[in-house]
Amino acid sequence: MSAFSSEVLVRPARRLAALLRSCHPEPAVAVTVLLTALAVAAGRGPAGSAAVAAAVLAGQLSVGWCNDAADAERDRAAGRRDKPVAGGEISSRTVAVAARTALVLCVPLSLLSGALAGTVHVMAVLAGGWAYNLWFKRTVLSPLPYALAFGAVPAFITLGLPSHPWPAWWVMTAGALLGVGAHLVNVLPDIEDDLAAGVRGLPQRLGRTACRWLAPFVMLTAVGVLVAGPPGPVDALSGTLAGAAAIIAIAGTALPSGARGRRPFRAAIAVAGLAVMLLLLRGSDLA
């Protein structure tokens, strides 16, 4: 194979790799795996769970690409070489086209779970992802899209069941709280950089110290809802997980970690993980 032919093959491969890195692959995969596991626990079956996985992945890809396309100029100004668009590895137009394509695919994939369930999921993607990226991110209402999206996603799963039930109140409440916590956790390490770039969502306005305490508290409140909300007595495993979440939350916020220390961030992530485990344990009680 000639050097020219090799270069012709390498360039598209590099662009594809850059495009995949632009979709925020870690959260996209994490959310897809979590909701697929929740669908299995709720009784959606192999076909229904696969439909959930495909729809959620398409939605997450669209949100990630939308984020990088919308933030392209700000990332370039901030010298974000870790972002493929800001680093010149791929154009913002290509990423924007990918975002719109994934969003279009998300619609029929979501409707595989039924008209109502599919509509709920598409609206969650639009409200929780696209609206946040394009407007809410820079306003005092920045937690609202996260609360709406995370609170609505359990409905996407339960409405796809044969009897089409809405999820229990405690599931949607815990989901909304986890969404707000996820927003705070996501912003916490970069508050100063965001302020320098002119991004003034609610966490940036509150400041690092307030968010450092608020993020684990919100996550811990979600844990409390997941433990106390379902009918029946609290089992030993749920109590143990809740206790572990409390210890981690207190340790993460009370112990000194420096001005830009990541201990509160990691503590909030750990508490969120325990909340997710509680949610999966209660999968059969979602509706």
SS (H, E, C) 24-75: CHHHHHHHHHHHHHHHHHHCCHHHHHHHHHHHHHHHHHHHHHHHHHHCHHHH
Domain match, 136 and 261 both:
no
Residues 120, 199: one domain? no
Question: Nearest CA to 203 among 100, 15, 213, 126?
Answer: 213
Last residue of a domain, one of 98, 115, 148: 148
**Distance in angstroms (rounded) separating the CA atoms of residues 86 and 99:** 17
**Per-residue DSSP letter, 141:** T
Whether residues 126 and 27 share a domain: the answer is yes
Please check whether residues 70 and 139 belong to one and the same domain. Answer: yes
- The proportion of the chain whose per-residue pLDDT surpasses 70, expressed as a percent, equals 90
Instruction: Categorize the per-residue pLDDT at 254 as very low, low, confident or very high, splitting at 50, 70 and 90.
Output: low
Q: Per the structure, how many domains does the chain have?
A: 2
Residue 163 lies in a domain: no
Residues 276 and 235 in one domain: yes
pLDDT tens sequence across 66-123: 998 888 888 777 677 778 887 788 888 899 999 999 999 999 999 999 999 999 999 9
Tokens 């927003």 belong to residue: 183
Q: Are 60 and 28 in contact (CB under 8 A)?
A: yes
List all residues 6 or more positions away from 90 whose beta carbon is below 8 Å from its beta carbon. 15, 18, 19, 22, 84
- The residue range of the domain holding 222 is 168-287
> What pLDDT was estimated at residue 123?
95
Q: Mean pLDDT highest for which of 25-34, 167-176, 186-195, 221-230?
A: 167-176
Average pLDDT score, the chain? 85
In this structure, are 203 and 277 located in the same domain? Answer: yes
What is the pTM assigned to this prediction?
Answer: 0.85
Q: What is the mean pLDDT of residues 256-275?
A: 67
For residue 23, report the phi and psi dihedrals to the nearest 5 degrees: -85, 5
Q: Are residues 132 and 16 in the same domain?
A: yes
159, part of any domain: no
> Residue holding tokens 């870790």?
82
> Using 50, 70 and 90 to split pLDDT, how confident is the model at 140?
very high
In this structure, are 76 and 114 located in the same domain?
A: yes
Phi, psi for residue 100 in degrees, rounded to 5 = -65, -40
